[in-house]
Amino acid sequence: MKKPLVGVYPGTFDPITNGHQDIIGRACKILDRLVIAVARNAGKGPLFTIDERVEMVRDEIAQMEHHGAEVVVHSFDSLLINFCHEVGAQVLVRGLRAVSDFEYEFQMASMNARLDDDIETVFLMAAERQQFISSRFVKEIGRLGGDISSFVGPQVAARLRDRFHLEQEDGKAAAKRLQTLKQD
């Protein structure tokens, strides 16, 4: 019997966007099993905790067509190649939005190949309607009160609105306390 083809799609997913979902859906068409690897990446200063990001990814993929592939979500905080070994992956899946993504991704793929040349990197081009979407842009638009509904799923949009509302309320409360201190 042929060994199942297992791929890892790594990312911070802070938050998961429609662009990520596009890559996930298309990767499912070519893989038997897809492991979505949510990176802790504390150095990036994520808006959401690792547990929140894993939960958001699980919620979003539960609503997606998997095309017969098994899809699982795990967090990781290790060398990506080591994580691939842990889950038995032969393929790394990466999405490319523009030529500017390619240089970074090419360097990463080359380094990963040096670490283990048995793990192949597969690049999937973002669908045209998703090419401009990034988690960073989505967070910035959401933070400024813009409509993010066409960039993320409804549950993710609600979480972002809640998070930014809390941040805005915290900011208003801090300003009020500062004003009170100035009056005293």
So which residues are the catalytic ones? 20, 44, 97, 135
For residue 61, give every residue at least 6 positions away whose Cβ sits within 8 Å of its Cβ, in sequence order, or none.
21, 24, 36, 71, 73
Q: CB under 8 Å, gap of 24 or more: what pairs does 52-57 form? A: 52/159, 53/12, 53/13, 53/14, 53/15, 53/16, 56/13, 56/15, 56/16, 56/155, 56/156, 56/159, 57/13, 57/16
Residue with tokens 């690049």: 123
Q: Which residue in the block uniquely carries the two structure tokens 């802070």?
A: 14
The conformation of residue 130, written as its DSSP 8-state character, comes to G
What count of other Cβ atoms lies within 10 Å of the Cβ of residue 160?
A: 22
